Chain A
């Protein structure tokens, strides 16, 4: 904090106050001043309970979106039509898992845990972005997700790099760099299709037709129906309203669609000279709320796969925990190897014993 000394003084004064309410009020004043001064709130700083819980909800939802978002794209890894595209797609899905990891870590600084958050996801008590409840039906969908879905995500997330909560803002800086790379790759994939054979062009157009409106819904409900917006903006968690960001996204996409040689599926889309923006047609909010309630095309499938991966992985996590416990207490198999189990192996244990004592794998992601 730039004025950390001042805050410390203020806090010390507050600590000296016997009255609980007065102390909270003093803390709150320090917090409000920090937010007003565009300073970052850090994990050990005092923060209002509602600020903490709003952030946990938002960061968790963001993390869940990254890991559920692996599914629609992973759906095409095994069918990618060239080795180059396959490598790009694998790297992207890997990045998403990495983003999930950053975000769960950011959420954990607020006093929750990844296990707890996953548990809430698996029981439907926390959400993920509704966009991932749409199916990837053709290869072109991988491009449409990159261009439109990642494009919308970036429009939403770039302002979060200035979010008032430090750990979240810093995670977003890293994530946005990778996301904009993915977005360019998606655009380039669609461009190759658009300029390819007539069948490929049609595949690209069909994907854009199906992903355009759901992408616009990613910005959330209209401003007058957005429950958390006002408070989040006051706290500088959000910097712009849903409708502002949506408009910005439309304005960015129109010229990109033109250079792709693809149409955006909205007959009302046109430049408005007066506003200096594109006007666009009405969003089907009934569909949005239905998908949000769990009635989208893939809600059940996505959750079922997530739960299945978690449940089927339980024995692996238990094994890792048990092994770590044995290592900690010196009761691991290495010590017992000459006993019941280890009698039949060929010689040569000595040369890898040392390797096995090294810490686990490199953290390369």
Chain B
């Protein structure tokens, strides 16, 4: 497969959505309340829908999802992080959905190849962000325990936020401005949730933009093993 800048970009955005959707799918039947089983599955489905469009722009969606090795995935390290407790899932959602909403809003306003997808997806993502923000408030400003859990989650995942603002080739947005808006939005929510905001997005991994280069964290390989096992066990079969 030849990777043009356009399809490299489609892979990066598509892999983000695919991998986060998978992680949210792991919650099915395990959420703290039934309404959250519905909400998390709803978000997972939206993301999977986006992933299918984006991966199809780059090639065959199933080949790309099921037959690439870990090193060929281009998603952010943030989205591959294990669910952890509900606070970790919410912190991950807050960081990512805010990023995705700002990114898609900008793409939707442009006339690039991602504009049509972004125009549709930005409505879904606005809901995801709304959901994450409200849970951040409830957990941060709920009980002492929920505050502490949310604080820990925000802190633990902060190290993966810097990577979001590494420019993706083929995605035409003003990355430094995106980072500024993201920080303003997230820190405002965290403040309302009585939580501290670290100063600037940070990359804790040994290289900024590692996930975009196919350098992932250890839990990701295991996630892919589970995701791809059945498909790989029946080469050439259709489902």
Nearest opposing residue in chain A for B150, CB measure: A319
Contact B52 A313 (CB under 8 A): no
Q: Mostly helix, strand, loop or mixed at chain A's interface?
A: helix
Contact B139 A316 (CB under 8 A): yes
Q: A181 CA to B140 CA in the complex, in Å?
A: 40
Which residues of chain B come closer than 8 Å to A101, judged between CB atoms? 34-35, 38
Contact B30 A348 (CB under 8 A): no
Contact B25 A81 (CB under 8 A): no
Of the candidates B18, B37, B226, the one whose C-beta lies within 8 Å of that of A94 is: B37
Contact B192 A333 (CB under 8 A): yes
A101-B34, A305-B29 in contact; A348/B146 too (CB < 8 A)?
no
Contact B192 A349 (CB under 8 A): yes
Contact B138 A78 (CB under 8 A): no
Contact B191 A337 (CB under 8 A): yes
Q: Mostly helix, strand, loop or mixed at chain B's interface?
A: helix
Which residues of chain A come closer than 8 Å to B29, judged between CB atoms? 67, 70-71, 74, 93, 305, 309
Top 10 A-B pairs, shortest CB-CB distance: A313-B32, A319-B142, A348-B184, A319-B146, A333-B141, A94-B41, A333-B194, A341-B194, A345-B191, A74-B28
Q: A352 CA to B42 CA in the complex, in Å?
A: 24
Contact bitstring A303-346, B, C-beta under 8 A = 1, else 0: 00100111011111111111110100000111011001110111
Contact A78 B194 (CB under 8 A): no
Chain B residues numbered 7-64 whose CB sits less than 8 Å from any CB in chain A: 18, 22, 25-26, 28-39, 41-42, 44-45, 48-49, 51-52, 55, 61-62
In the assembled complex, A79 has its CB within 8 A of some CB on chain B = yes
Which residues of chain B come closer than 8 Å to A74, judged between CB atoms? 25, 28-29
In the assembled complex, B156 has its CB within 8 A of some CB on chain A = no
Contact B134 A139 (CB under 8 A): no
Contact A352 B185 (CB under 8 A): yes
In the assembled complex, A356 has its CB within 8 A of some CB on chain B = yes
Interface centre among A97, A101, A358 (most CB of B within 10 A): A97
Which residues of chain B come closer than 8 Å to A139, judged between CB atoms? 230, 239
Which residues of chain B come closer than 8 Å to A305, judged between CB atoms? 29-30
Contact A316 B62 (CB under 8 A): no
Which residues of chain B come closer than 8 Å to A348, judged between CB atoms? 183-185, 187-188
- Smallest beta-carbon distance B230→chain A, Å: 5
Nearest opposing residue in chain B for A320, CB measure: B138
Nearest opposing residue in chain B for A336, CB measure: B194
Contact B197 A346 (CB under 8 A): yes
Contact A365 B85 (CB under 8 A): no
Of the candidates A79, A94, A334, the one whose C-beta lies within 8 Å of that of B229 is: A79
Chain A interface residues (CB < 8 Å from chain B): 67, 70-71, 74, 77-87, 90-91, 93-94, 97-98, 100-101, 104, 139, 189, 192-193, 196-197, 199-200, 305, 308-310, 312-324, 326, 332-334, 336-337, 340-342, 344-353, 355-356, 358, 360-362, 364-365
Of the candidates A79, A326, A341, the one whose C-beta lies within 8 Å of that of B230 is: A79
Nearest opposing residue in chain A for B23, CB measure: A78
Which residues of chain B come closer than 8 Å to A360, judged between CB atoms? 130-131, 134
Interface centre among A74, A316, A320, A349 (most CB of B within 10 A): A316
Interface centre among B25, B138, B149 (most CB of A within 10 A): B138
Contact A319 B138 (CB under 8 A): yes
Contact A78 B32 (CB under 8 A): no
Which residues of chain A come closer than 8 Å to B35, judged between CB atoms? 101
Which residues of chain A come closer than 8 Å to B183, judged between CB atoms? 346, 348
Contact A316 B137 (CB under 8 A): no
